[in-house]
Structure 1
C-alpha cells in the first residue's frame, strides 16, 4: 500500500483470475478505503437508474445461429479511423488514484496491453501527458468537463492536443452533480490531488469536496460550445451524455463527430431511463452519420454484443475496470478487458457472427 494524505492506495500488480466482472466489486471493496469505494461504486439518490442500467440488457435477446460454418470470430474493429483489437473501451472516469497508486497511468497501460481505447477524465489523478506516455502510443481520448473559465478549458485542450489525443469527449450531462448519498454519508473529500486541476488550485489541490469541484463547472452548455471546441482543437468532438434523438441531432448539427450514449453510470438523473433502453432510438436517429459510443451498466460480453447490435460502434465501461485496477494494477485492467473480450467472442460464435460488422447486423428479439 501507498499512503497519501492518510489515504491507502493499492500497489498491486498482477493478472487476475476472473470468474465474472460483477464478482470484482466485492473483492475491490475489501481493499479500497470506504470513502473512495463509495465514490467509485455509488449512484444518485436510491440508485434505481444505476440498477436498471444492467437489468435493461434483458429487454432484448440475441438470436442464436447455427449451420453458419463460421469459426474463429475476431473482435478487431476500426472506429474514428483508429484500428483497435476490441470494441471495448475505458469510459472517462475520475480520480482513479482512489483505486491504485498509479491511477490512470496503470489504466492506460492495461488498455494498451488489451488493445482497447483509453479515455482520460478532466478530473484524473494523473496528468494528460503522463497518462498518454503510459499508453506508449496507444490511442487515447481526452474528456473535458467544461469550466466556466475558458482559459482553464483552453489549457487542458492544448495539453490534450500536444499529448496526441485522438478525440475530445465533451461531457454534457453533468452541469450539476447528481445527489450521491454515499458521498454525503462518508463526508467524502478527494484525498489525492487531481493533476489537471492542481495548477489552477489554491494550495496543494487536495481535500476538495465534490460540490466544490462542480461549482466551477459550466452549467450552461449548448451547441456553440461543441463548435468552439471542434474549431479550437481540430479534433473530433464526441458529445457524451446523450439520451434522446433530439439531442443527438442537435450535437451533430453543431459539428459533433461522435455521439456518446450514457447516463453517467446512474450517477446523475436518478429516475431517468437505463442507457441501453434509449440506445436504439438514438442510433437510428444518428443513422451512421457519426460513430456511436455507449456506456452504463456493461458487465458481460453479451451486454457488449447487444449494445453493438443495437447501434453502438464502441462499448465503454468504468467501474469493473477500476476494480481490476485496484486488484491488479495495469495487469488487472488488461485482465478485465480480456475477460470481457473472451465472453464476447463466445457470444459471437454462438450467434454466427465472425466480425464486429456482423455483430451490428445480428438479429435481436425486442420486448
Structure 2
C-alpha cells in the first residue's frame, strides 16, 4: 500500500516528455526536443578540472551537512556581488540542487493547512513540493498581457489568515518574464508588514536577454524585506551544471539551522566532489557566460520571429532564461482539446518534444526551450508549423 501523500503527486511532465522523446530516438525515430530545461553548452573545463582534482586529492568523504565552509563563503561573496546584500555562512546552506533547497524549505516552514501563493504559470514542481510538506498551493492566475506577472490588486485578493508564503520566480520558468523594481516595490508594499515568507527563486537571474532589462531581488528593497525573504539559487543553469546538483538557500539563521537539521536526516551533505566544482564555478572565470548569453539572444530572436509566422499564435517575447511560452489555444478543437493533447500531437506528428502549458498551471500554451542549437530550433519550428497547418 502506498502512502496517501504520494498518490496526489504527479511525475514531472518535463522529465516524462523528455524520457518519451529519448525512447523514440533510441528506437530510430528522428525526434527533436524543445523540452529540456538545461543548456546545451558543456560545463566549462576549469570546473571539470576542479572536480577531477578533488577526486585525485581524495576529497571523497563526508563534508559538513550544510556544505564546506569555502563554498558557503563563496556563495556569500556571490550574493554580495550579484545582490549587493551581506549574508554570513551561518545564513547559507548548500543543497543537492535548487529543487532540493526548495523542498527542504517547504518542509521546515509549512504546517498542515498553511497556504503558499503560487503565481501561474509556475515551475512544475512548486505545487507538489508544497503538498508534500502538508501545505496548500494557492494558484493565482496571471495574464499574457501583463507579462505573466502578479498584480498587487490580485495578490491582495488571495491573502488570508492561512497564508504562510509566496513564491516569486524572476526570471520565470516557463515564460522568461522579469519583474521590474517598480513591480516588486508594489508587491512589497503589500507584503512587508505581513507574517508571510517571500521565497525568491532566482536560478536564472544572470541569464538576461534584453539590454533594457535589469534584474532586481525583492530582498534588496529594504532591511525588513531582507529578513523575510528566502533566496534560492544554484550553479545549475548559469554554469550548465544541472547534473552536478548543487544549489543553495540563503536566509535567516534559524531557517538555515532547521534546514540543516532536516538535511542531516535525509541526504546528508551534497556531493563533496560537486561542491569543489561549484566552488571553482563561483570563483573562476565568468566571461564565458556573456558568450552563452550572446548565443541565446540569437536563438530567441529567431524563435520569436518565427512564431509570428504561425497563424493564430501569440507569444510574450522572453526577457530572460531560455524558454518561450507561446499561446496555441486558437488551434484547440475536439481533436486537440488542450495543451497536453497538443504536445502529444506534436511529438507524434512533428516528432518534436514540447511541454504542455497545463504542466505549468496555464492551459492554452506550450513551453519551448531554446537551450539547444539554432539548427535544432530551426528544424523543430519548421516541423511544428507544418504540423499546425494540418490542423487548419
* TM norm. shorter chain > 0.5: no
Q: TM-score range by the shorter chain?
A: 0.3 to 0.5
Q: TM-score, normalised by structure 1?
A: 0.35
Q: TM-score, normalised by structure 2?
A: 0.33
**More relative contact order, 1 or 2 (CA 8 Å, 6+ apart):** 1
